């Protein structure tokens, strides 16, 4: 199994009134394209990415050795983030510098969110609600992926679990 993440610093900066940008850190399961963890913050720092990782770990309880791929952003290289990975036995893999293809799946994910959602929201709460609907309700449960044979990530995982049993 492999999870992938990408730096929120150059990704989804959603304008929120006059208060600036909202940053989203997301963790995607490469097997099914299911968003297993995500977090939102007005500040792009290690706390944002650690919260996204903690949600993914809480939801999935991954076995030791899971490959966790990220870019070389300071938030993913931070001591707090690396300590969290090590505590849970996750293997860290980082992109090569300047290789955009290493993050292609996450680039596509964030591009889709930016395309489908408005980039201006009245409030932080509105931003969180819209992102929850888009990620948890639509992307994970209903969006069809060519990688999954044109079925949703949730349906793909159910199908894989049935076949494995």
Instruction: Encode the chain (165 residues) as per-residue pLDDT tens digits.
Output: 667 766 555 555 555 666 677 888 899 999 999 999 999 888 888 999 999 999 999 999 999 999 998 877 888 889 999 999 999 999 988 877 766 666 788 888 888 888 887 666 777 778 888 889 999 999 999 999 988 999 999 999 999 999 988
Query: d(Cα 145, Cα 143) in Å, to the nearest integer?
Result: 6
User: Which residue segments constitute the domains of the chain, with CATH numbers given?
Assistant: 2-164 (3.30.420.10)
pTM equals: 0.87
Tokens in use for 97? Answer: 């510098």
Distances in whole angstroms, Cα of residue 76 to Cα of each of 28, 114, 141, 162: 15, 22, 28, 34
Contact 80, 105 (CB under 8 A): no
What stretches of 17-165 show up as alpha helix (H) in DSSP?
A: 46-60, 74-77, 79-87, 104-116, 124-132, 153-164
């Amino acid at each position: 199994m492999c999870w992938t993440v990408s730096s929120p610093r150059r990704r989804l900066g959603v304008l929120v009134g006059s208060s600036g940008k909202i940053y989203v850190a997301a963790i995607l399961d490469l097997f099914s394209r299911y968003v297993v963890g995500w977090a939102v913050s007005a500040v792009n720092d290690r706390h944002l990415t650690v919260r996204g990782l903690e949600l993914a770990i809480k939801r999935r309880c991954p076995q030791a050795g899971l490959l966790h791929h990220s870019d070389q952003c300071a938030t993913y290289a931070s001591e707090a983030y690396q300590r969290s990975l090590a505590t849970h036995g996750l293997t860290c893999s980082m992109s090569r510098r300047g290789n955009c293809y290493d993050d292609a799946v996450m680039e596509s994910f964030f591009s889709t969110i930016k395309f489908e959602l408005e980039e201006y929201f009245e409030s932080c709460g509105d931003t969180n609600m819209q992102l929850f609907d888009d990620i948890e309700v639509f992307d994970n449960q209903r969006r069809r992926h060519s990688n999954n044979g044109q079925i949703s990530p949730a349906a793909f995982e159910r199908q894989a679990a049935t076949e494995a049993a």
